[in-house]
């Protein structure tokens, strides 16, 4: 009822490290989302190169989060197309998009408060046959086997993010920064090829923010994860992203390397409050 057929993923599967090879892993074309008369996303066209760390920036109200919500299935689009690894994603429900390997986090962290940190992590793992009621009853062994693998992975990731001492605490007791780390590591448990992060640096101290960015660099190198992250502050982005997409008033007004985007007149106008 809930699971599409899927191949089991080996616990220690590691994708070869690779840098951005220029091929788009994700592409959106003319995406539109209206709320009443307001066109929050007004024909956004962009792409994300495989293996890149791409930043999506823009002033307040540019439509960045709405764009995220549309491409991850949380909002129904009013037009446009989007593909992930050449598969169309618009109109698919959020859970199906996540299973394709395109996993998102939220601007306001969604820790599952009354579950332990470890349960938060284990929940996110894909291909757990025990998530189907029939398998719980009739195939308990395969469920237990997968559970052991998943627990190992979760403990490994918690170690990397320095969350191990909190593993048995309720996620609701974590601080804001710890929640950001938990949400990122939890998203990684879902084995994404493309990770969409909505303001991962917002509301956390600069030290932790830098650590988060270091994590992103390492995950890209070690696991080949591609990142698309929303960031409000342009300066943060310039040193860490290798591609920058700029949105203003629902449209993509620039798309390129940080140093190109920085000099783009439309971007300067948008950020200085000009008419973009």
Beta carbon nearer to other proteins, 132 or 210: 132
The distance from CA 154 to its chain's CA centroid, rounded to whole angstroms, is 18
Beta carbon nearer to other proteins, 202 or 266: 202
Q: Please report how close the Cβ of residue 192 comes to other proteins at its closest, in angstroms.
A: 10
CA separation for the pair 80, 216 (Å, rounded)? 30
* Residues in Cβ contact with 38 at an 8 Å cutoff, skipping those fewer than 6 apart: none
Tokens encoding 276? 């973009």
CA separation for the pair 181, 209 (Å, rounded)? 10
Q: Please report how close the Cβ of residue 123 comes to other proteins at its closest, in angstroms.
A: 5
Beta carbon nearer to other proteins, 48 or 270: 48
* Residues in Cβ contact with 48 at an 8 Å cutoff, skipping those fewer than 6 apart: 24, 25, 26, 27, 54, 194, 226, 228, 243
Beta carbon nearer to other proteins, 112 or 167: 112
Beta carbon nearer to other proteins, 167 or 236: 167
Q: Strands across the sheet with 226-231, in order?
A: 102-104, 194-198, 226-231, 53-57, 243-248, 251-256
- The CB density around residue 168, as the number of other CB atoms within 10 Å, is 9
Q: Please report how close the Cβ of residue 111 comes to other proteins at its closest, in angstroms.
A: 8
Beta carbon nearer to other proteins, 23 or 148: 148
Beta carbon nearer to other proteins, 132 or 232: 132
Beta carbon nearer to other proteins, 59 or 126: 126
CA distances from 104 to 37, 145, 188, 191, 206 (A): 28, 27, 10, 11, 22
Q: Please report how close the Cβ of residue 207 comes to other proteins at its closest, in angstroms.
A: 26
Q: Please report how close the Cβ of residue 210 comes to other proteins at its closest, in angstroms.
A: 25
The distance from CA 258 to its chain's CA centroid, rounded to whole angstroms, is 20
Please, are residues 115 and 179 in contact by the beta-carbon 8 Å criterion?
A: no
Q: Please report how close the Cβ of residue 81 comes to other proteins at its closest, in angstroms.
A: 22
Q: Specify burial of residue 12 (Cβ count, 10 A radius: 0-12, 13-18, 19+).
A: exposed
Q: Go through the chain and tell me how many residues it has.
A: 276
Q: Which residues bind other proteins (CB under 8 A)?
A: 1-2, 72-74, 93-95, 98-99, 103-106, 110, 112-115, 119, 122-124, 126, 128, 130-133, 136, 143, 146-147, 170, 172-173, 186-187, 190
Q: Please report how close the Cβ of residue 267 comes to other proteins at its closest, in angstroms.
A: 30
Tokens encoding 259? 């140093």
Q: Please report how close the Cβ of residue 196 comes to other proteins at its closest, in angstroms.
A: 9
């Amino acid at each position: 009822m809930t699971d599409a057929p899927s191949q089991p993923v080996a616990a220690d599967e590691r994708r070869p490290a690779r840098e951005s090879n220029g091929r788009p892993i994700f592409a959106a074309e003319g995406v539109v989302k209206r709320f009443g008369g307001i066109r929050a996303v007004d024909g956004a066209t962009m792409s994300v190169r495989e293996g890149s760390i791409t930043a999506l920036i823009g002033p307040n109200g540019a439509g960045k989060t709405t764009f995220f919500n549309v491409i991850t299935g949380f909002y129904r689009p009013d037009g446009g197309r989007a593909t992930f690894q050449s598969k169309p994603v618009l109109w698919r429900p959020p859970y199906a998009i996540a299973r394709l390997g395109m996993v998102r986090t939220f601007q306001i962290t969604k820790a599952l408060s009354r579950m332990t940190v470890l349960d938060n992590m284990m929940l996110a793992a894909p291909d757990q046959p025990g998530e189907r009621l029939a398998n719980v009853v009739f195939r308990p062994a395969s469920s237990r086997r997968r559970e052991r693998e998943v627990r190992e992975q979760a403990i490994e990731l918690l170690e990397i993010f320095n969350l191990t001492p909190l593993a048995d605490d309720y996620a609701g007791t974590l601080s804001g920064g710890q929640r950001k780390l938990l949400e990122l590591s939890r998203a990684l448990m879902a084995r994404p090829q493309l990770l969409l992060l909505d303001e991962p640096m917002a509301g956390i101290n600069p030290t932790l923010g830098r650590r988060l960015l270091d994590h992103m660099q390492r995950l890209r190198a070690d696991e080949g994860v591609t990142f698309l992250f929303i960031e409000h502050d342009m300066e943060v982005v310039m040193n860490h992203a290798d591609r920058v997409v700029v949105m203003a008033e629902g449209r993509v007004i620039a798309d390129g390397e940080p140093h190109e985007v920085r000099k783009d007149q439309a971007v300067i106008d948008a950020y200085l409050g000009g008419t973009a």
